[in-house]
A and B are shown apart, each in its own frame.
Chain A
Amino acid sequence: MSWDWDYAWDIVPDLWDGMKVALEATVYGYLIALALGLVLALARRNKHRWISLPIALLSELIRATPLLVQLFFMFYLLPEIGIRWEPLTVGAVTLGIHYATYTSEVYRSGIDNVPVGQWEAATALNLPRRRVWTSVILPQAVPRVIPALGNYLIAMFKDTPQLIAITVVEVFSTARELNSETFRTLEPFTMAGLFYLVVALVMSGVLRLVERRFGRVRST
């Protein structure tokens, strides 16, 4: 079998439709991971053992097991407890939870790296606890960890092909579809792979711009 350029170009629009689904899952999943990660990071620093310990154990279990197994877990078990979501929603939420355990560690290292004098100064000014966090600690902790957080966006995007397993129609399901219609294997799978490579490279470029724009701690 030889490579057919005409056919390879013809299937680009179909694959792009699949890519839109993959990107949608990535965006929603990433937003969940960013928000939930911060919540987990703060919960793990909680001084009450009965809050921080279960969270820590659950995070470790999530981090030691494959995403694919977690996808299956959610996909088959949510309906059993009466939650009926679209497969894409299940996928985005699972991606979000899985990566939240990673982003929470990143936030934690950012918070731990804020110099202790900042805490002391904020306390000396008699700022309320909430203000200490929102105006002093987080504005210094978050910009520093933007590059590390960005890496997880790309990692998450690269995990989206696994959504095939829970019946989401994305790039590779489309490639399979095309393969069963035309019996050509080389073009659909190679083009799908190239699609991923190009989008991942574009993402790293965008992340670099974001880092330059927001990756500095503002000094006033």
Chain B
Amino acid sequence: MTSGQFHLLLDGALNTIYLTLGGAALALVLALVAGLARARGNRAVRIIGGCYVEIFRGLPTLVLAFWFVFALPALGWQLDPLWAGMLALGLNIGAYAAEVVRGAIRSVPTGQAEAAVALNFTRAQRIRHVELPQAYVAMLPPLGNNLIELLKSSAVVSIVSIPDLTFNAQLIRMSSGETLPVFTGLLFGYAVIALVLTGLMRLLERHAVRTLGREPVPGVIRRILRRAEATA
């Protein structure tokens, strides 16, 4: 592997990470708004949220990416391809995550909302101080899965020539003709990024569980240490 190829892969990996994080930020905002709208909004707001979820769950990411890269300029908007990719990914995953948020808010026991009413909280206070903090803990694990989905679908945008990890690996394959090592490396590259993201999400989950005053389930490392103590 030459240094040029290495730089190409590094740039690609960085772009993949940008796409994933940018898409995730957009998806999170959309998911919170649409999820809250669907779980706690009035009828009109619920319908708008529902339309967003139904439409963007039914549209493949690639379709959105194509549209933003090729059709939008025809309407007089030219987006930077990387932004177009983030937008497509965020809109798509946001629709899935909105359902997660809705489910999490609904999973908060009714007694909690009743207690907030009994304490004369306003609706906004009830949602902000009672329901969301508890829903937040419940929604983290499935949102972590959505994040991995997002990382995987980010490869799709390479088809519309956004220079991410997959696109740059293709460039190297074409110039060097080394098919097997390039694609094997690519598979493991994505797996490593996925592992790092999963690890970070687990840390966040453990922290979130603590905010509710519960003890988190011991992690892998702690379990191994305990086993070592038990045998010693």
Contacts and interface: CB of A to CB of B under 8 A. Distances in A.
Contact of A64 (B153, B186, B194): B194
Interface stretch (B25-33, B58-66, B210-218): B58-66
A21 interface: no
A76 B183 CA distance: 9
A19 B14 CA distance: 35
Contacts of A160: 60
B183 A161 contact: no
A65 B58 contact: no
Nearest to A79: B179
B74 A185 contact: yes
A162 interface: yes
A200 B63 contact: no
Given A72-B170, A185-B74, A193 B183 contact: no
A65 B16 CA distance: 13
Interface string B150-170: 011111101100000010001
Contacts of A70: 187
B166 to A, nearest CB: 6
A196 B60 contact: yes
Interface residues of A, number: 36
A66 interface: yes
A217 interface: no
Given A65-B187, A162-B156, A185-B73, A193 B179 contact: no
Interface of B: 54-55, 57-64, 66-67, 70-71, 73-75, 148, 151-156, 158-159, 166, 170, 173, 179-180, 183, 186-187, 190-191, 194-195
Given A64-B191, A165-B159, A196-B58, 9 more contacts: A64-B148, A65-B152, A66-B190, A72-B166, A76-B173, A77-B180, A161-B62, A164-B62, A197-B58
